Amino acid sequence: SSFVVGLTGGIGSGKSTVAGLFVEHGAALVDTDAIAHELTGPDGAAMAQLVAAFGPQVARPDGAMDRAAMRRLVFADPSAKAGLETILHPLIRQLSAERCRAATAPYVILAVPLLVESGSYRERCDRVLVVDCPESLQIERVVARNGMSPVEVEAIMATQASREQRLAVADDIVLNDGDLTGIYPQVIALHQKYLVLSAEKVK
């Protein structure tokens, strides 16, 4: 597909939930988080480089990245995080671009949690769709889902763009501040709009 909708939002905003609804309507989904997991899964394409950079202790016996070991490394040496990203990010960028190109659906939802924070993904998107919700709800959902403490969730949110910064770059918004029935009609309306826009782009 040549029409790419970048989907983003803060932690716990509902990105995966909203992306799943677009897929039900026939959109293709390219998810950079899922790609990162593939690359670091059993014998993933990043594993040889990760082992070369950080040592065999970052690989589990099945060849997947040992996430706990990697967290310990990053905790002990914050520069390890940059090293990890230097290996993963180019691979994620390349693979996500290939999959967007190969998709045959009318348009692609390109899910990128840190889209607003990273210019290179924004450039590739025909539109930016932000899943928005009050910060109090983000915290509530992540606490309920992961059993994290509110303070831990707030610490992650502090490393991400603010709600205002995200809304400032949004072309479209799904407001996910209630139950699921609130987002269905919003997704349907945007799906119709993306079908029209993608057809116009092809012409």
Cβ nearer to ligand ATP, comparing 12 with 106: 12
Of 12-20, 38-46, 55-63, 100-108, which segment contacts ligand ATP by CB under 6 A? 12-20
List Cα–Cα distances, 53 to 48, 71, 89, 124, in angstroms.
Answer: 9, 15, 15, 30
Q: Which of 141, 163, 166, 191 binds ligand ATP (CB under 6 A)?
A: 141
Q: Which of 1, 32, 160, 176 binds ligand ATP (CB under 6 A)?
A: 176
Of 48-56, 83-91, 179-187, 192-200, which segment contacts ligand ATP by CB under 6 A? 179-187
Site for ligand ATP in 99-128 (CB under 6 A): 113
Q: Which of 1, 4, 5, 14 binds ligand ATP (CB under 6 A)?
A: 14
Q: Give residue for tokens 């799943």.
A: 20
DSSP state letters, 177-194: -S-GGGTHHHHHHHHHHH
